Each structure stands twice: as C-alpha cells, then as structure tokens.
Amino acid sequence: MKIQQNISLKTYNTFGIEAIASHFAEITTIKDLQEILEKEGYPNIFVLSGGSNILITNNLNALVVYINIKGITILSEDENSVVLKVMAGENWHEFVMWSISHDYGGLENLSLIPGNVGTSPIQNIGAYGVELKDYFDSCEAIEIATRQLVKFSKSECQFGYRDSIFKNDGKGKYIITSVNFKLTKSPHKLNTSYGAIESELREKGIGNPTIKDVSNAVMAIRRRKLPDPDELGNSGSFFKNPVITETKFLTFIKDNPEAPFYRISKTSYKIPAGWLIEECGFKAKRFGDAGVHKNQALVLVNYGTASGQDILQLSNKIREAVLKRFGIKITPEVNIVS
Ligand code: EPU
C-alpha cells in the first residue's frame, strides 16, 4: 500500500469539485486498512468512499483513505431468501444490477443511486418507497481507535430517515468494511406503491412486473428527474426534506394550500424541500458554474468549474431564502468537508 502526495480529488467526488489531498492511499484489503490506521504522523484521516454524498470545500491537509475493498459472497440461503456479504468498495448500482441478475429481490427501487455499498448505511439511502434498512441485515466496521473489526446489528445501527448511528454517536469512529443484506427469492414482494412507479409501469403496459421491470421503471424516472453525475456534477439531494410540528404545519398549509406534504406521525409532517426551493425561485437558476437543477430543485449542480465554496454559498443563500419565506429550516443531507 502506497501513500501518494498531492492528489487531485476531482474524479473521486461526484460533484466534480477540484481539491487537493496532501496524502492519499487506496485501500483494497481490511488488513491494509488496519495497517494504515497504525501509521504514525497522520493526525488527520479522511475516509473517502464513492464520493457521492460529500461537498469538499477546501484542499484537504489529511491522509485520504480511499476504501476500495471488493467482493460479494453468499453467506447463507434457503428457499425464500439469501444473505449476501458485500464489501464496502463495491459500487452500489452495480451491486443492485448483480442482485437483480441473480433474481434476488428487494433493492430494485434503489437502482441508480450513486455511491458505494460501504457508505449506504451511513445515511440509510432511500428512494421510491424503500430504504436500505428494509433489506439490511448487519455490517462490519473497523473501529478507528482500536483497529478492531466490530459488527453492528440492524438495531444497533439506529436507522432513521437519512440517518444512522454513523452520523451521530458513531460519527468519525468507524469505517464500514462490509454490509450484509437479506434479499428475497422469487416470488418477490414488490414495492410499487410510489405513484411515479405505478404510472411508469402502466404506461409501459406492464401488469405483472418482475424486479427487473421495477428497476427499469425506477431508472427511467431517475434519468428524467436527476442529473447523471458523469454528465453534470452533483451529489443527489443536497438537502433533507424538513420535518415540522403539527402547529407549524397548520399555519404552513393554510398559507400554502397547494404544497405537497407527508404526514409521518401524529404530530409531525414532512415537506418536500424541492417544492420550498422551487417556490423561492431557485429552480434552474445558475450562479457562475454553481446551480440548481432544472428538473429537481433539491439537487445542486456543478456546471464545470464551481468550487466547493461556490456550492456552499449557493446552499446558504437557498437556506436563508426558505427560512425567510416559510420560517422552515432546511439542512444539508450532503456532508460538508472542510
Ligand atoms: N417537488 C417540487 N419541485 C422540485 C422537486 C420536487 O415541487 O423541484 C415536489 C414534487 O412535485 C413532489 C415532491 O416535491 O410533490 C417530492 O418530490 P420527489 O418525488 O422528487 O422526491 P423528493 O422528496 O424531492 C426524495 C429523496 C430522493 C429520492 C426521491 C424519490 C430526500 C432528501 N430525497 O426526494 O433521494 O430519489 O425522494 O423517492 O429524501 C437523494 O437522496 O440523493 C435522492 C435523490
């Protein structure tokens, strides 16, 4: 394992932001990872995975540890299900395609999400009515302080909406090395209740969809709404959808009767941040090379040479505008790295 110096991170983050890492090491085995954590003289370590949920706002004076550990193994299976161990460096979408080609079901609604398997539990990735936690079994991680491999059960991960222990108490303490998934064998339990999936399948005349059909429908919807990071730099949803109390919601909906919303508990409501941002006039707006996507206002984009600071400034401007207009705080979903 080699430690390189002054490496550009432009191709390692889906925003396509130029930033230099003072030190950089690619890790392909758990043993390499344990060894590098023992190296003296690198007080700042930054763990990099698929780079799909970060905004780098400065050069990094740190040892960037790029997790590229690969492999998929079947741990157990019976008539109805299979448990797979997937190493952290596997690309998420390629793994979803692999599971569909083996007729293992569950992850089809999560097709085309950028990033790697190892970071998928951190923010409990989710789309079109399914979240990672629905098919998650457990994961393994290196505890940075002890360099020991530890196991997390599903309940220990404390999953929530775009949330887990790895964003809270466990933040900065663990590096996930593999994730175990429990997937279904045919007959699968499809989740097509999300409106856009239903209409996509109907338009295609598919009455009895397979997991492949659902995956294709999800990919078609995503391609229409969300920019492909290979063509236009972005990190998916930049903000989380805010959750507000009932009292606040009642005033909000009286003032904005046309606003979309989801009731998530007896006393709380989720409002799509994309709608709030669009209402503030930001959709499709461009400020230099930093902009708001034309089809989904929740996604900030880099037209080419935007710096992390440019995107950060735009996000602050949007947050202020939403707060001023609606009295609602929106917070980034993306990790801001400085
Ligand atoms: N909307 C607008 N204007 C916009 C965008 C959305 O009015 O510019 C409205 C839509 O019309 C709709 C509502 O907001 O009524 C919800 O929109 P959408 O279905 O696109 O979902 P979202 O809440 O904006 C979330 C996830 C996405 C995920 C989709 C589909 C978050 C932060 N984002 O977006 O996840 O793909 O649902 O399930 O929860 C990601 O995390 O990177 C991501 C793309």
Give the rounded distance of the alpha carbon of 90 from its chain centre: 14
Cα–Cα distance measured from residue 121 to residue 276, given in angstroms and rounded to the nearest whole number: 27
Nearest CA, atom 27, ligand 1: 127
238 lines ligand 1 (CB under 6 A): no
Comparing C-alpha atoms, which of 187, 200, 146, 159 is closest to residue 37?
146
Distance of CA 57 to the CA centre of its chain: 19
Q: How far is the CA of 299 from the centre of ligand 1 (A)?
A: 9
Catalytic residues: 162, 237, 333
- Report the alpha-carbon distance of residue 99 to residue 89 in Å, rounded: 16
Residue 283 CA: which ligand 1 atom is closest? 8
State the amino acid at position 67 in one-letter form.
I
Residue from 200, 295, 298 to probe ligand 1 pocket by mutation (most atoms less than 8 Å from CB): 298
With 90 as the cut, is the pLDDT of residue 309 above it?
yes
Task: Find the 296 Cα to ligand 1 centroid distance in Å.
Answer: 7
pLDDT of residue 155: 98
Section 73-93 average pLDDT: 98
Radius of gyration of the chain (CA): 20
Report the b/e string of 223-243 with b at 16+ CB within 10 A.
Answer: eeebbebeebbbbbbbbbbbb
pLDDT tens digits, one per residue of 122-138: 999 999 999 999 999 99
Which of 237, 241, 301, when mutated, tests ligand 1's pocket best, judged by the most ligand atoms within 8 Å of its CB?
237
Is 278 touching ligand 1 by the criterion CB < 6 Å? yes
In contact, 36 and 29? CB cutoff 8 Å: no
Beta bridge partners of 65: 25, 47
* 283 CB near ligand 1 (under 6 Å): yes
Per-residue confidence band for 196, with pLDDT thresholds at 50, 70 and 90: very high
C-beta 92 within 6 A of ligand 1: no
How many other β-carbons are positioned within 10 Å of the β-carbon of residue 168? Answer: 10
Is the model's pLDDT at 47 over the cut of 90? Answer: yes
* Amino acid 1: pLDDT: 81
How far is it, in rounded angstroms, from Cα 272 to Cα 36?
Answer: 42
Task: Quote the CA–CA distance of 299 and 291 in Å, as a whole number.
Answer: 9
Q: In the prediction, which pLDDT does 198 show?
A: 95
Mean pLDDT of 35-61: 94
CA 256 vs CA 35, 259, 279, 298, 301: distances in Å: 56, 6, 10, 19, 28
**What number is the average pLDDT over the span 85-97?**
98
CB 27 within 8 A of CB 36: yes
Q: Is 275 in the pocket of ligand 1 (CB under 6 A)?
A: yes
**Domains, the chain, with CATH or none:** 3-67 (3.30.43.10), 72-184 (3.30.465.10), 233-337 (3.90.78.10)
* % the chain with pLDDT above 90: 98
